[in-house]
């Protein structure tokens, strides 16, 4: 990934990202078996920072791996992003925050939790794991104009409540303005609430394991199959590209789930042809799919039903491959 954006062309100065890859099993300890979650995080961080692709400032992209992915450290890094953006209060530019988590997810009592490094079996999930309530609280506190949450774990479609859930804590007027007036809040998860997230052994010349979800995200962020030849990537393209890729590679066994409120907002820079020649963004990658989280069934056995996919916002979302996804986005048709 050595290609560079032409000299003098701005990077995506208002982009901020927290990329998390735990590498842990369900007991919160590092295991080589789950190295794929670290590979995923490292690869997505490279795509975001690449000056010819998304062009996020290197200083604004934080990569947490292994023992640095504790619950406390994740919360601390979200607070750092909040303070960084808050310090730019007079800046009229719109800020985009991307948070990516790759690791274990478990479902218990009708609720899905993400397991950080250091979680131990027997710990209270509400205080030692990460749930949608904690994520929603920390992300809205950032008061960024555009927030994109990406969850790569089993049952991740059940982590966040739908954005229109009446029980959700109401936003302040300022927060509502930030999130919904010409801006946006979206999340995309690797699977439905009842599904596992898969990883794959890629054929030679690749020696690492990656998840179809992360490679789908990378293709979306790099603008693969993008029809409009403009300078920016929109969240609708990211969602469409990722869902189509994952559905195809897993033969519809895994279908990403999304929720989206606000405008079809910008998530990064785009330069036509920049992704050409990058092997992991190629069209001919095939997976020997396996499932990583078998032991989680022995620990957590209460699974919630798969949710109905819900979307609000402007812009069309299409799934060109795999099963039809239906819904309505404030009058925008998608199917």
**CB within 8 Å of 202: residues ≥ 6 apart:** 208, 209, 210, 285, 286, 287, 288
Q: Are 195 and 306 in contact (CB under 8 A)?
A: yes
More confidently predicted of 171 and 211: 211
Class of domain 15-334: alpha beta
Check pLDDT > 50 for residue 176: no
Whole-number pLDDT of residue 66: 96
* Domain residue ranges in the chain: 15-334
Q: What is the pLDDT of residue 106?
A: 80
**Residue 12: pLDDT over 50:** yes
Select the more confidently predicted residue: 234 or 284. 234
Distance, CA of 221 to CA of 178 (rounded, Å): 23
pLDDT category at 291 given cuts 50, 70, 90 is low
- Is pLDDT above 60 for 174? no
Asked if residue 311 has pLDDT above 70, the reply is: no
What would the mean pLDDT of 290-297 be, rounded to a whole number? 49
Q: What CA–CA distance (Å, rounded) separates 132 from 136?
A: 6
Residue 202 is predicted with a pLDDT of 62
Confidence label for 187 from pLDDT (cuts 50, 70 and 90): confident
| pLDDT attached to residue 15 | 92
The more confidently predicted of residues 6 and 18 is: 18
Q: Go through 40-57 and write b for each residue having 16 or more CB atoms within 10 A of its CB, e for each that does not.
A: bbbbbbbbbbbbbbbbbb
Write down the pLDDT at residue 299. Answer: 47
Residue 320 has pLDDT above 60, yes or no: no
Element (H, E) at 161: none
Q: Which pLDDT does position 68 carry in this prediction?
A: 97
Label the pairing between strands 15-21 and 96-102: parallel
Query: Which pLDDT value is given to residue 10?
Result: 61
The secondary element (H helix, E strand) that includes residue 20 is strand 15-21
Taking Cα atoms as reference points, which of 211, 223, 18 lies closest to residue 105? 211
- Helices (DSSP H) in 143-267: which residue ranges? 173-180, 212-222, 235-249
- The torsion of the CA quartet 287, 291, 292, 294, rounded to 10 degrees, works out to -170
Structural contact between residues 265 and 180, judged by C-beta atoms closer than 8 angstroms:
no
Question: pLDDT higher for 286 or 88?
Answer: 88
pLDDT at 177: 47
Sign of CA dihedral 41, 43, 49, 55: negative
Distance CA 7, CA 5 (A): 6
Mean pLDDT within 48-59? 92
Block residue for tokens 């229109």: 164
Tell me the range of 40-54, 126-140, 249-263, 269-283 where mean pLDDT is highest: 40-54
Confidence of residue 63 (pLDDT cuts 50, 70, 90): very high
188 phi/psi in degrees, rounded to 5: -130, 125
Q: What pLDDT is attached to residue 116?
A: 94
Q: What is the dihedral of CA 163, 245, 53, 280, to 10 degrees?
A: 140
What 3-state class would DSSP assign to 169? Answer: coil
User: Average pLDDT, stretch 265-284?
Assistant: 79
């Amino acid at each position: 990934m050595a290609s560079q954006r032409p000299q003098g062309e701005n990077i995506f100065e208002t982009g901020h990202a927290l990329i998390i890859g735990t590498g842990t099993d369900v007991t919160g300890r590092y295991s080589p078996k789950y190295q794929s979650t670290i590979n995923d995080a490292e690869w997505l961080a490279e795509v975001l920072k690449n000056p010819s692709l998304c062009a996020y400032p290197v200083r604004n992209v934080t990569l947490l791996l292994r023992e640095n992915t504790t619950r406390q450290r994740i919360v601390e890094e979200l607070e750092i992003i909040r303070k960084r953006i808050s310090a730019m209060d007079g800046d009229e530019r719109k800020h985009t925050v991307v948070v990516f988590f790759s690791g274990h997810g478990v479902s218990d009592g009708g609720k899905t939790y993400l397991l950080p490094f250091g979680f131990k079996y027997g710990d209270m999930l509400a205080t030692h794991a990460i749930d949608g309530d904690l994520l929603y609280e920390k992300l809205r506190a950032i008061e960024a104009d555009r927030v994109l949450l990406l969850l790569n774990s089993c049952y991740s479609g059940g982590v966040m409540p739908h954005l229109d859930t009446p029980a959700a804590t109401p936003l302040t007027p300022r927060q509502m303005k930030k999130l919904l007036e010409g801006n946006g809040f979206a999340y995309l998860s690797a699977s439905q609430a009842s599904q596992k997230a898969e990883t794959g052994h890629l054929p030679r010349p690749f020696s690492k394991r990656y998840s179809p979800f992360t490679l789908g995200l990378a293709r979306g962020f790099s603008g693969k199959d993008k029809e409009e030849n403009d300078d920016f990537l929109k969240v609708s393209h990211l969602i469409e590209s990722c869902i189509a890729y994952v559905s195809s590679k897993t033969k519809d066994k895994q279908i990403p789930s999304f929720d989206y409120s606000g405008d079809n907002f910008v998530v990064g820079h785009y330069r036509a042809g920049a992704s050409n020649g990058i092997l992991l963004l190629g069209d001919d990658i095939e997976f020997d799919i396996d499932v990583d989280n078998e032991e989680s069934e022995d620990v957590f056995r209460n699974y919630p039903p798969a949710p109905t996919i819900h979307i609000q916002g402007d812009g069309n979302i299409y799934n060109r491959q795999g099963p039809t996804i239906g819904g309505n986005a404030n009058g925008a048709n998608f199917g």
